Amino acid sequence: MGGLIRVGDLRKTYPVRNAWGRKIGSLDAVDGVTLEIAAGETLGVVGESGSGKSTLGRLILGVERPTAGAVEHTGSGEMQIIHQDPFSALNPHRSALASVMEPLTARGASAASAEAAAREALAAVGIDEDAVRKRPRAFSGGQRQRIAIARAIAPRPAFIVCDEPVSALDMSIQAQVTDLLKDLQREFDLTYLFISHDLSVVREIATRTAVMRRGRIVELAPTAELFAAPRHPYTRRLLDAVLLPDPVRARERLAQVAARPAAAEALPDGPLVEVSPDHFVAG
């Protein structure tokens, strides 16, 4: 498998300002990330809130410029993003069909061809033909996310950043939408960067998983291996929290881990070392 995307020592620093807008410091949201995403794979990215997952996604998409480092796209082709909140992609005043057509007409497609492609994408995500003229509010949360996914796949992208795509959905719906993303990947030859704070979701879909902490990748391994033999203390802690048999307690525990003041604790976050084939751990 060739690398579709190569990221080299990527950095993004944001200014930290006080209440009066004066710069009082800076924050390394992404702090030296190097990785490759292979064509057809799903690279999962997990880590606590604020660890830099979304920033990494935006840098790879090119919607934000890195402070340093490079993102190289070896293939050509369209890129898209799916957000946690489908309303960020859907105009509440427009029909599902109009929302899915919009990125196509914006790229110069005729109304007729955009409509045909949009109807095809909506059918692929399981939205009933009779419902496509309805507005977002007429749909359930899961259906709205399906429409947002249709909008992302309609321009036939090669690569999609899925940023917490199922995190806002009910547990029962999460699995359905995750399965849909898997089916679409096969059908449309997609490559995913799949961001989630929820390791159990990433376990279902990711080929490999990167664990981020404070802007750095601390562990990167094939997903099954990461779960079977985690090496970094931070990964172990996240897994301990998520593998509790009681899901309610697991979520509480995960929230505790995430709330731990990261700056207070020094864990290894140096360059990645390959400890077994394809399994990298920060030294």
- Interaction site with ligand ATP (CB under 6 A): 14, 27, 29, 47, 49-55, 197
Q: Considering beta carbons, is residue 61 or 116 the nearer one to ligand ATP?
A: 61
Other CB atoms within a 10 A radius of the CB of residue 264 amount to: 6
The two structure tokens encoding residue 213: 């902490």
Assess contact for 165 and 181: CB atoms under 8 A: yes
**How far is Cα 253 from Cα 272, in angstroms, rounded to an integer?**
27
- Phi/psi of residue 63, nearest 5 degrees: -80, -15
Position closest to Mg ion via CB: 54
Please report whether residue 54 would count as binding Mg ion according to CB under 5 A. Answer: yes
Toward Mg ion, which CB reaches closer, 54 or 178?
54
Among the candidate windows 14-22, 51-59, 172-180, 200-208, which touches Mg ion by CB under 5 A?
A: 51-59
CB neighbour list of residue 151: distance below 8 Å, 6 or more residues apart: 89, 90, 99, 100, 102, 103, 121
Which one, 26 or 276, has the nearer CB to ligand ATP? 26
Question: Which among Mg ion, ligand ATP, none contacts residue 86 (Cβ within 5 to 8 A by kind)?
Answer: none
Quote the least distance from Cβ 118 to ligand ATP, whole Å: 29
Minimum Å gap between C-beta 102 and ligand ATP is 25
Task: Tell me which of Mg ion, ligand ATP, none is bound by residue 99, counting a contact when its beta carbon lies within the kind-specific cut-off of 5 to 8 angstroms.
Answer: none
Among ligand ATP, Mg ion, none, what does residue 197 contact (CB within 5–8 Å per kind)?
Answer: ligand ATP
Cα–Cα distance measured from residue 87 to residue 148, given in angstroms and rounded to the nearest whole number: 8
C-alpha gyration radius of the chain: 19
Taking alpha carbons only, the member of 32, 4, 50, 2 closest to residue 161 is 4
84 binds Mg ion (CB under 5 A): no
**Residue of 99, 112, 93 lying closest to 151 (CA atoms):** 99
Rounded to a whole number of angstroms, the minimum distance from the CB of residue 113 to ligand ATP is 36
Q: Cβ 50 to Mg ion, closest distance in Å? A: 8
Q: Which is nearer to ligand ATP, 50 or 222 (CB)?
A: 50
Q: Which is nearer to Mg ion, 54 or 174 (CB)?
A: 54
The residue type found at 271 is P
- Nearest approach, Cβ of residue 214 and ligand ATP (Å): 9
Judged by beta carbon, residue 112 or residue 263, the one nearer ligand ATP is 263
Q: Which stretch binds Mg ion (CB under 5 A): 47-55, 173-181, 201-209, 267-275?
A: 47-55
DSSP string for residues in 28-91:
EEEEEEEEEEETT-EEEEE--TTSSHHHHHHHHHTSS--SEEEEEE-S---EEEE-S-GGGTS-
Among Mg ion, ligand ATP, none, what binds residue 47 when CB lies within 5 to 8 Å by partner kind? ligand ATP
Kindly give the interhelix angle for 96-106 and 111-124, rounded to the nearest 10 degrees: 130
Closer by beta carbon to ligand ATP, 47 or else 230 = 47
Q: How far is the CB of 134 from ligand ATP (least distance, A)?
A: 30
What is the binding site for Mg ion (CB under 5 A)? Answer: 54
